[in-house]
Structure 1
Amino acid sequence: MEAVLESQDVDHLSRRKIVAWIIFGALFVALMLCVAYYFMVYRYYQSTDNAYVQADVTWLMPKISGEVIQLKVKDNQFVKQGDVLALIDHRDYQARYDQARSMVDLKTAAIAIHTENEKSAQFSIEEALSNVNAAQAELGRLEADYLRYQQLLGDGVITRQRFETIESQYVSARAQLARSQAMLNTAKAQYGSVQAGRAQIMADLNNAKATVNLYQVDLNAAKLMAPVSGNIGSLSIQLGSRVTPQSRVLAIIPENSVFVEANFKETQIEKMHKGQKVQVKLDAYPNLTYRGIIDSFSPASGATFSMMPSDNATGNFNKVVQRIPIRIVLEPHPQIELVKPGMSVIAKVDLRS
């Protein structure tokens, strides 16, 4: 009986040793697998959970103030570039625009009248020039007669009365030439004055056209149009709301504009570079995996751009590992629409890529 009990104790101890060796072997294999995984996989990856989805948000701000008389969109609605989102009361701007257009028409009519005045002044110059030429021809004829009759008077061929008649005609022709030249000078001066007036009218016309363009800009600004295609968000106006210039009325998240901003520790980026592949997991959808690539590195740490950066020159210095923001562009994915700005993600960079 004692021999049987001793045999059972030996078998029990043997089984315990076998189990112990099996457990030890399993632990050893697991350790070896962990070491192998570290050297073959893990050490080639850098990851962080300090990462968030971002987007190039486009804020829409009106250029004019007024009351919203039409609102054609609602929150979360998709819009295309160029769609009219809202309409601001533009009656005042329309009236100013119409008034400016009337002023342009008035100045254009003044230019037309001025053009006719220039033509009339040119005709006056041509008429005065013709009169000068005619007076010069008449003076030349009478001057020849005057000299000839003067010689005849000296020879006693004609009477003094006849000579004085020719002399008076000659003097009158000289006076007529002087009057014609004076009229020509007057016509030229009038033409110069008319031309000087054209410059003033043209300046007024250009000023009126500039005013029209200015009011046209204000009139067009009454229509709030989508600058990009995307989804509406943060809609802060309703029908009848009063808006002012530079006030944010809504935001548009452009389509295909989401990206991931991952804040890696400065000790992690030694082997990182642009173009490396990144695995991204959303906290909201842990079963989905997205792919991306490193697009760019921030030119400075996140603390540098904070409103109140820490002053490390003080006596109370504690070294803190800084974070470097890295922009990650996501690759196309069947469920990319699930990625929303502001979501938390885990980013893992493949250093071998």
Structure 2
Amino acid sequence: MTTELKPAARLNEAKAAVRRVPRWLWIAGPLLVIALFAWEFVVSSRSVETDNAYVKADRVMISTQVSGRVSQVLVGQNEAVHLGQLLYRIDPAPLKIALAEAEARLAKVADDAGASRAGVRESDASVRSSEETLAWAKQELSRQQQLLARHLVAQKAVDDARHAMSEAQASRDSAVAARDKARLTLGGKPGSTLEQLPDYREALALRDRARLDLEHVDVYAPVDGIIGNHDLQPGEYLTVGQVAMPLVATHPVWIEANFKETDLARMRVGQKAEIRIDSYPGVRWHAQVASISPASGSEFSVLPAQNATGNWVKVVQRIPVKLSLVDVAQNAPVLRAGMSADVTVDIADDADAPAPARTAAR
């Protein structure tokens, strides 16, 4: 048979239980709560942190500088490569033919220049001969005119002399034109060297371009890194500038943390930071603030937000901050681009900050 306590008895029992609680616990409890809030305030005033952070590394899109068919692929996906290592090769046969053609054209231009110089000398001789003939024809016409005045020759002799002079003058003009044409093939300067001729310089440039293209059939790694995903196979045709494979550099590696704009009041370059990578629990990396972006991430987007139009809602923006790793141990875990990270920046030491920054912080 169950005995139920009356309300008065229950109240008395509750009061007795309260009296049994030690008095020091009633004092320590509120003090502990106050201490926790005070500690949180002090810590938050000395540092800022964010989990919107990721490991970053340089990415190089390997492309070709010449068009051609791939003859060899020497690296696979996720393979580590070193600076100067051969990645793939373009078939050099068409480029060798192009180089031979350019060299033949260069030799032909040199031969044509020699022929042009000989033509200039020949035209100069023709001009001198035609001028001599013209001078003789003028003297002959003058002599025949004097004899006609003394009635010693017929009019026909004077006409023949005038006709000979006209032919000599026309021959001289033709020789001068031929000389000018021959000089134009040498750039208008018969005394110029072969290297000064425009046609020769053009042919030389084409030869050098063909030689450079032939040197670019072998594509090498520009930095130490790891090859990303690619499906390049021998036999594929690549055009100039076409990306063949990605390469992620292994050094340098840095952290990009996207802090709220409200966290940047006391942040400056050079402050110390602590990095925690999600992939390696319990491991800490030391870093320092290397640079702070001049604009928020949305400003660099393809279609930045137009806050002056439509219904506007204020959203706290995030500013990218670059942190460089310092004192990395030799046996530290490998950091790969894209890994998630937690970043804590110590902003307590801002005594060396410029006066405007301290004023803004206050």
**With structure 1 as the length reference, what TM-score do the two structures score?**
0.70
> Structure 1 residue 186 and structure 2 residue 174: aligned?
yes
Residue from 337, 342, 349 that aligns with 2:345: 349
Structure 2 length as normaliser, TM-score? Answer: 0.68
Deviation, 1:132, is 3.8
Q: How far apart, in 2, do the equivalents of 1:235 and 1:94 lie?
A: 32
CA contact under 8 A between 1:298 and 1:326: conserved in structure 2? no
The CA distance in 2 between the partners of 1:104 and 1:327, in whole Å, is 53
Q: 124, 127, 132: which one pairs with 1:125?
A: 127
Which runs of structure 2 are paired with 1:89-108 in the superposition (5 Å)? 89-108=91-110
Alpha-carbon RMSD:
4.3
Q: CA deviation at 1:327?
A: 2.1
Paired residues of 2:232 and 2:244 also in contact (CA < 8 A): no
* Residue number in structure 2 paired with 1:333: 328
**Which range moves more in the overlay, 176-185 or 292-301?**
176-185
SS where residue 219 of structure 1 aligns? helix
Distance 1:37 1:253 in 2: 42
SS for the counterpart of 2:98 is helix
Counterpart of 1:153 in structure 2 is none
Stretch of structure 1 that moved more, 328-337 or 170-179: 170-179
Distance 1:333 1:243, change over 3 A: farther
Out of 255, 258, 280, the position equivalent to 2:275 is 280
Aligned residues: 318
Counterpart residue type for residue 69 of structure 2: E
* Cα distance in structure 1, aligned partners of 2:308 and 2:156: 112
From 216, 227, 247, give the equivalent of 1:252.
247
Shift of residue 40, structure 1, vs aligned partner: 4.8
Distance 2:242 2:178 in 1: 57
CA change 1:143–1:339 in 2 (3 A) is: same
Matching residue within 39, 60, 63 for 1:61:
63
1:252-299 alpha-carbon deviations (Å, 9 max, x no partner): 233533221112223323332344332222233332322221412251
Do the aligned partners of 2:289 and 2:321 also contact (CA within 8 Å) in 1? no
Shift of 1:61: 1.9
Query: CA 1:179 to 1:249, structure 2 compared with 1: closer, same or farther past 3 Å?
Result: closer
Q: Which has the higher helix share?
A: 1
CA distance in 1 between partners of 2:230 and 2:108 (Å): 44
Deviations 1:291-327 (A, max 9, x none): 2214122512459737796999777x87654433222
For structure 1, list consecutive stretches of 5 or more residues without a partner in the other structure.
Answer: 1-15, 151-159
Matches within 5 A, 1:180-329: 180-196=168-184, 208=203, 211-212=206-207, 215-216=210-211, 218-226=213-221, 228-237=222-231, 240-245=234-239, 246-285=241-280, 286-297=282-293, 299-302=295-298, 305=301, 320-329=315-324
Change (3 A) 1:124 1:318: closer
Is the partner of 1:278 in helix, strand or coil?
Answer: strand
CA distance in 2, matches of 1:182, 1:34: 114
Of the three residues 66, 76, 79, the one matched with 1:76 is 79
* Amino acid across the alignment from 2:170: A
> Taking every aligned residue pair, what percent have the same amino acid on both sides?
22
Call closer, same or farther: CA 1:287–1:20 in 2, change over 3 Å. farther
1:120-146 deviation per Cα after TM superposition (whole angstroms, max 9, x unaligned) = 001111222234445556777x57985
* 1:277–1:294 CA contact under 8 A, matched in 2: no
SS of the residue corresponding to residue 188 of structure 1 reads helix
Match of 2:100, SS?
A: helix
Q: What per-residue deviation string (whole Å, max 9, x for no partner) do you get for residues 13-34 of structure 1?
A: xxx99x874x678768866765
The equivalent residue for 1:47 is 49
Contact 1:280/1:292 (<8 A) preserved: no
Kindly indicate whether the alpha-carbon contact (under 8 Å) linking 1:274 and 1:295 is maintained by their aligned counterparts in 2: yes
Please state how far the C-alpha of 1:342 moved relative to its aligned partner. Answer: 1.4
Q: What amino acid does structure 1 have at the position aligned with 2:285?
A: T
> Would the alpha carbon gap of residues 196 and 304 (structure 1) be closer, same or farther in structure 2, given more than 3 Å must change?
closer
Residue 233 of structure 1 contacts residue 253 of structure 1 at CA under 8 Å; is this kept in 2?
yes
**1:188/1:312 CA distance change after superposition, 3 Å:** closer
